Amino acid sequence: MDNFKLLINGRLEAGDAQMDVINPATEQVLAACPRASRAQLDRAIAAAKTAYPAWAAKDIAERRKALNVMADIIEANADMLGRILTQEQGKPLKDAVGEARALAANFRDFAKLPLDEKIIEDGAKRHVKTRRRPLGVVALIVPWNFPLVTLGSKIPPALLAGNTVVIKPAPTTPLATLAMGALLKDALPPGVMNIVADANDLGGALTAHPDIAKISFTGSTATGRKVMEAASHDIKRLTLELGGNDAAIVLDDVDVKKSASGIFAGAFRNSGQVCIAVKRLYVHESIYDAMVSELSALAKAAVVGDGLEQGTQLGPLQNRMQYEKVKEILADAAKSGTVLETSAVPPRGYFIAPTIVRDIAEGSRLVDEEQFGPVLPVISYSDPEDALARANATPYGLGASVWSSDPARALKYAQRLEAGTVWINKHSELAAHIPFGGAKQSGLGVERGEEGLAEFTQLQVINAAV
């Protein structure tokens, strides 16, 4: 696996340096990746700035057509992109190919969204309308847990609105994004889409650059603060999708077996490396032991291994830093809770088995921090009002869920959870047409849907005398 290139001004080029990308399932070097210099980043931004006026001037029908062409190319190469993604990220091959297909679907879905002028008033004294103008050059910064599909909520709306883009993938998972760039380089005019990979050393230069009009960032809250600070100097537009410590509240009237299956999927998908995963599970004391038993059985039965191997359900943690962090949190949890038996894992690689921890509460790292790994604390409660207060007692507010056999009862609690998205009897479901954004320190702005498209535009009001 070699010959990956940066995409700058419609041309593929080597980096001014190189860096190794590690396969987390084997801890071996997967590929040498081009590493952009500051000069290459500046050229990518300059190319996007040069390409912007002509791209913005195109009829929106032409931009819609381009998005659909890009979707077709991605779809036709989903197997190849998925194989690269599995090897650099770790997730099972089926999930990785599905992620590539979801990226293509997002291009198609955004291509259908309206971006029309709206008449606000048409009276005897004035005519007022609103329109959406593009912003200019947009920086798109994506994380390592879902490198491809995260781009699906950024590239299509940015381009449809008439912006040009500079994409920076995570240093540990740049390869599938670079491969996507090579596939799409001729689908757009030179400079409209640029991709630069770095070793976590160009983010500040990108976000502070005076020719960047907007930053769309997905990642940790800590890094999001730095992005926000960099953007403040010239008031760049921002969309931040940040960390979460999502709570799920299980009421006493659920079907335990059925709910356990949905909760397990919501907690352990992608080995728990999901911003909106269930990270704290509050279960009523009357069904606590039964729920723990069901979840523990599912954890012990899960097949953990290399994502390329047939039958693998959960892969490794993506990188050593995250692996060591989750191990530390798990060791701390053993001091304040009961760590239940887990499934077997390979002897090599960044593997942690899906783990249930019971008899634990607030005050432990596992409950108070975002673990971002396959370890789930199950917390007992007696009063739903208490569970609600505990679920809300966090600086985060990305997602949450309520589980109950009574929809009206579940809705009563769901509406009081302080989160951008609250699911009922499911968790972590997203769709391109459904807006998604965090509350509190889990984000700023909205992605997906018409609201997400609007984030890549400047609202302009035309107010004319009649």
C-alpha span between 366 and 329 (Å, rounded): 6
The answer to whether 353 and 313 have CB atoms below 8 angstroms apart is no
Instruction: Provide the β-strand partners of residue 13.
Output: 6
The answer to whether 183 and 77 have CB atoms below 8 angstroms apart is yes
The answer to whether 128 and 464 have CB atoms below 8 angstroms apart is yes
- Name which of 461, 466, 449, 458 is nearest 119 in CA terms: 461
The conformational region for residue 123 under phi > 0 = left, psi -120 to 50 = alpha, else beta, is beta
- Name which of 109, 84, 110, 88 is nearest 183 in CA terms: 84
3-state class of 110 per DSSP?
helix
The answer to whether 405 and 255 have CB atoms below 8 angstroms apart is yes
- Name which of 429, 373, 428, 422 is nearest 400 in CA terms: 422
R_g of the chain computed on alpha carbons: 23
C-alpha span between 78 and 117 (Å, rounded): 36
DSSP 371-387: --SSEEEEEEES-HHHH
Query: Scanning the structure block, which residue is given the tokens 């699906």?
Result: 152
The answer to whether 436 and 447 have CB atoms below 8 angstroms apart is yes
C-alpha span between 455 and 435 (Å, rounded): 11
212 vs 135, 185, 446, CA distance in Å? 9, 21, 19
C-alpha span between 83 and 140 (Å, rounded): 23
Query: Scanning the structure block, which residue is given the tokens 């634990």?
Result: 360
Token duo for residue 237 = 């537009």
Half-sphere exposure of 425 (CA within 13 A, CB side): 14
Active site residues: 241, 275
Indicate the helix (H) or strand (E) that contains 326: helix 320-336
